[in-house]
Amino acid sequence: MLHKKNLLWLALVMAGSAQAQGDQRLSDLQVTANRLPQSQSDVLASTTVIDRDDIERSQAGSIIELLQGRAGIEIAQSGSPGTTSSLFMRGTESDHSLVLVDGVRINSATSGGASLEMLPLEAIERVEIVRGPRAAAYGADAIGGVIQVFTRRGTASGTQGGLKASTGSDNTQRQSAWVATGDDDTRLNASLFHRDGDGFNATQADDSGERDGFEREGAQLGLSHRINDDVKVSLNALRQNFEGEYDNCSFPASQDCVTKGYLQSFGGQLDVQLQPDWQMLITAGHFDEQREERYSGERQSLIESHRDEVGLQHRFTRDNGVDVLGIDYRHDSVDFDNRAGASYARDSRENIGIYGMMQRTYGAHELSGSLRYDDDSLFGDETTGSLGYAYRLTPFQRLGASVSTAYKAPNLIDLYGPYGTNPDLEAETAENLEAFWAYERDNWHTRVTVFDNRIDDLIGYDPNTSIPYNVDEARIRGVELSGGWQAGGLVLSASLTHQNPEDRQTGERLQRRARTFGRLDADYTLADWSFGATLRAAGNRRDTDFVTYGDTTTAGYGVVDLRTSWQVTSMVELSAKVENAFDKEYQLVDGYNTQDRYLEGGVTLRF
């Protein structure tokens, strides 16, 4: 077991962060799968990279819209923009996926989930998605996969920037500004963003006609400096304030509910080339999330999550691969206050992890492996690992398979929270098998992945006392298809996931997960004009009835978004979009409304 006094030296010596790895901005590179820069074609894991061009071309209004329906990803949201969201990767639980911002964990220290709804697209440069367990690289939480968000940054010398303003339905307003400046050695970038709107009525049970509005505002800052040929330092910061209205809080249910607070993350990295084949990274990160809940104008609770992280990694380049050795430390804490005077019996935890990874290529054979040991101050230790192999059939085709283990540490709220708790909870554990075939040539690529993930000791809740227990087991089998094609002015991308997320004890499907879902994006550029469309679709899902609390089923849906833009001059662009163009009525959570037809137009100035 860990003790804080025994690890103080680690924080002082490392002065580093949670792996905000690498600055390579080439679209072919990703760093999230194995915590080091690699070409997409060299990674055995199932990955997706969404760069800034993809984000702007999609005209998505939020990261939830950007990710919804992509291979392995389902997201549920309870009402208008800014309300609570739940991420389900490959059918796993909403707290089984790790989310990083510039390498810093932003999963809540209490519930374990990540507040995706609070990540502003205006500040995002790139999103990397890795599907499947990555606990052997990152430790706890990465059972379903990892999503890493990289904030805006400039790569070219000189100064670039932009201003954007748009207005849309429901009295929605957006404004953002971005600038990057510097030379080959030093780069500084910053962005500001604001969004507000009247929203829509969150719940179907509320017949008052009121709307649940929202407001977000924030800033992002990044700085990098190359001290000499062998040493580089970088710093990143992101903050977003939010306030949103929602329904169905308290008991009996109230429709006058407000949540407000902020999310912020800070990260830094020192990159030192010790030898031509030996690189050292020292990293450090800090994360805060605050939520204040008000019912009918009175404050009910205030909860804050805090996290500090430090890490040290060494990379050794070989003739046919790379070896990685690393150690990281994490301290989580919670501040909680509510009207009832409840409190956490223990409000902090620590974790130290030691890991090693290797990548090798032997002709047409590719091999990867990783092993990690974690020690958590509240529940004990856990060892995880992964092993992957691929064979290159041709220069364009690969066949591969992998096996991996993962775990999810019990959340603070379940162990020592203010309500039903169980300090004897064990970690949820997983064993995953998968195989893939991938083809990549010229302007198009495709991949088929088959997976089988068995999860044991899932935490369930006693229906009478709400006390959590390790009682459930799940098996999630599925297949993912993804691909893309680009030629001339046409860009196509598509994904389809078919899965069976099953409770092994009851045989029932896990809640809020569809058996089949997918997404299709198509964009075409003609001279100064561009036209695009997105189809997001999912089958029906099991859920809990909003009124009776019994079992129910929410219907499947298909939603079409349309968009266009006109490059008036090299500096001026006009854009317009229609979300849910056919005004489809559907639900992501039973009893909660979703956005009806939404129109928006905007102007962008670039310099």
CB distance 159 to 188 below 8 Å: no
The H or E element containing residue 120 is none
CA distances from 41 to 236, 267, 366 (A): 28, 28, 11
pLDDT at 248: 81
Q: Which fold has domain 4-606?
A: Maltoporin; Chain A (2.40.170)
pLDDT at 389: 98
How would you class 371 by CB atoms within 10 Å of its CB: exposed for 0-12, middle for 13-18, buried for 19 or more?
middle
* pLDDT recorded at residue 23: 39
Cis ω before 252 (30° cut-off from 0):
yes
Report how far residue 438's alpha carbon sits from residue 434's, in angstroms, rounded to the nearest whole number: 13
Helices and strands per DSSP (H, E), number in the chain: 5, 33
CA dihedral 302→296→597→489, nearest 10 degrees, is -20
- Say if CB 12 and CB 3 are below 8 A apart: no
- Side-chain half-sphere of 11: how many Cα atoms within 13 Å? 15
The token pair that represents 538 in the structure block: 């999912």
Q: What is the mean pLDDT of each run of 10 residues along the chain (607 residues)?
A: 37 34 52 86 91 96 96 93 91 95 95 92 95 95 96 84 97 96 94 96 86 95 96 97 88 82 97 97 97 90 96 97 97 93 92 97 97 94 97 96 96 90 94 97 94 94 87 94 95 98 92 97 97 98 90 96 97 98 96 95 96
d(CA 594, CA 580): 10
| The pLDDT value given to residue 27 | 54
Burial of 465 (0-12, 13-18, 19+ CB in 10 A): exposed
Q: What's phi and psi for 144, nearest 5 deg? A: -85, -30
| 8 Å CB contact between 598 and 559 | no
Per-residue pLDDT, 509: 94
Contact 138, 98 (CB under 8 A): yes
Neighbours of 162 (CB within 10 A): 16
Q: Sign of dihedral through CA atoms 195, 200, 206, 208?
A: positive
Task: Report pTM.
Answer: 0.93
The answer to whether the beta carbons of residues 363 and 398 sit under 8 Å apart is no
Do the beta carbons of residue 392 and residue 409 sit within 8 Å? no
User: Which residues, in sequence order, are CB contacts of 171 under 8 Å at separation 6+?
Assistant: 197, 198
Instruction: Spell out the domain ranges in the chain.
Output: 4-606
List the one residue out of 92, 153, 164, 85 whose CA is nearest residue 119: 85
pLDDT in the model for residue 154: 73
| CA–CA gap between residue 431 and residue 135 (Å, rounded) | 11
CA angle 581, 586, 592 (to 5 degrees): 125
The strand pairing partners of 317, in sequence order, are: 322
Q: How far apart are CA 51 and CA 44, in angstroms?
A: 20
Structure tokens at 128: 């990397």
Q: Is the dihedral of CA 590, 593, 598, 602 positive or negative?
A: negative
